[in-house]
Amino acid sequence: MRFSERHNLIPVREAIQIDSMDIELRTSLWNVLQLCVWDHVTSYSGTSFFRMNPEVHRLFIRLWLHHFKRPVDNLDDNWAIMIGRIRQEFFNWEWYEVYDFVEFVANNYPYTDGDSYINVCNQYLERECSAYRFVDGLITKITDEQEVAEIELALEKARGPVRTHLRRALELLSDRETPDYRNSIKESISAIESLVAIALGQKGTLGQLIKKLEDEMGLHPALRAAFSNLYGYTSDESGIRHAILESTTVDFEDAKFFLVVCSAFANFVTAKIPIRKRP
**pLDDT tens digits for range 101-122:** 999 999 998 765 556 899 999 9
Residues 75, 180, single domain; the answer is: no
Same domain, 155 and 202: yes
- Tell which of 77, 105, 131 closes a domain: 131
77 is a domain residue: yes
Helix or strand run (H / E) with residue 135: strand 133-135
pLDDT of res. 202? 83
With respect to residue 136, please indicate whether it lies within any of the assigned structural domains.
no
Boundaries of domain holding 66: 3-131
Q: Is residue 97 part of a domain?
A: yes
Q: 64 and 181, same structural domain? A: no
Pairing of strands 138-140, 133-135: antiparallel
Contact 183, 149 (CB under 8 A): no
Does 110 share its domain with 149? no
93 is a domain residue = yes
Give the residue, 26 or 179, on which the prediction is more confident. Answer: 26
140 within some domain: no
C-alpha 239/C-alpha 257 separation (Å) is 16
Query: 230-241: buried (b, 16+ CB within 10 Å) or exposed (e) per residue?
Result: bbebbbeeebeb
Q: How far apart are CA 257 and CA 144, in angstroms?
A: 11
10 lies in the same domain as 85: yes
Q: What's the pTM?
A: 0.63
* Structural domain count of the chain: 2
Q: Is the residue at 229 inside a domain?
A: yes
Q: What is the mean pLDDT of residues 194-205?
A: 83
Amino acid at 243: A
